[in-house]
Structure 1
Amino acid sequence: MTLPVLSNDMSEAELDRMVEKANAASAFLKAISHEGRLMILCHLVSGEKSVTELEELLSARQAAVSQQLSRLRLEGLVLPRREGKTIYYRLADDKPRKMLECVYDLFCGDDD
């Protein structure tokens, strides 16, 4: 993958596309910048979880977990599924998994 390079000879359409992509990346990074949201995504990598399961895994109150799930849902990172009174969440696509792998490599990999 080659990173884009800003240059004076870029067309207005190319520049607009780059700004659009930068806005999307910024929104994504803001969504995952909260420790609670990041931990929710980490737990969902292994599969779908109910809100109750996430509360227990995070040792957090239901209101706090629901608030963070709402933000992740708004950003399109998780998808809900209702089964009776229970709501389950899963990753919406592979983007959060790829991001978590990158974060792991940067902050949890070997310190060599």
Structure 2
Amino acid sequence: MSSHRATIDVAAMHAAAAQACSLLKVLANPDRLLLMCQLSQGEASVGELEEHLGIRQPTLSQQLGVLREHELVQTRRDGKNIFYSIVSKEALAVMAVLYTQFCPTS
């Protein structure tokens, strides 16, 4: 009997694992995780993020910078306000799983 297994592209698996690890490393910081959780609910200004999450400057700016650097969020300026939103569909999918597992609705 011969087994019909799909051929696994090991190089592609390594690349995907590296991408997944990079995303998980960024999300592994409590402040960044809180920011991504808040932003998964929709766009928010820097002031709104600071008020809702209690993350103060300069920590807030530093962590938002990391999220921008890793291309998980984008910014939009409206006058003096800067608004953030999630652009990474992979990060949004991970946030949905984390929400289901760790944020019960009871």
Alignment gaps of 5+ in structure 1: 1-8
Structure 1: how far apart are the matches of 2:43 and 2:93? Answer: 17
Structure 1: how far apart are the matches of 2:89 and 2:11? Answer: 26
Alignment coverage as a number of residue pairs = 101
| 1:57 alignment counterpart | 52
CA offset at residue 106 of structure 1?
2.5
8 A Cα contact 1:51 1:62, kept in partner: no
| 1:96 alignment counterpart | 91
The normalised TM-score by structure 2 is 0.83
What pairs with 1:1-112 in structure 2 (closer than 5 Å)? 10=8, 14-109=9-104
CA offset at residue 34 of structure 1?
0.7
8 A Cα contact 1:55 1:65, kept in partner: yes
Structure 2: how far apart are the matches of 1:99 and 1:54? Answer: 20
8 A Cα contact 2:44 2:83, kept in partner: yes
Alignment gaps of 5+ in structure 2: 1-6
- CA deviation map 1:66-98 (0-9, x unaligned): 111111111111001112221110011332222
CA distance change for structure 1 residues 108 and 85 in 2, over 3 Å: closer, same or farther? Answer: closer
Question: Following superposition, which runs of at least 4 residues in structure 1 exceed 3 angstroms of deviation?
Answer: none
**Greater length-normalized contact order (CA 8 Å, ≥ 6 residues apart):** 2
The normalised TM-score by structure 1 is 0.79
CA offset at residue 103 of structure 1?
1.2
CA offset at residue 109 of structure 1?
4.2
> What percentage of residue pairs aligned between the two structures are identical?
37
> How much is the aligned-residue C-alpha RMSD, in angstroms?
2.2
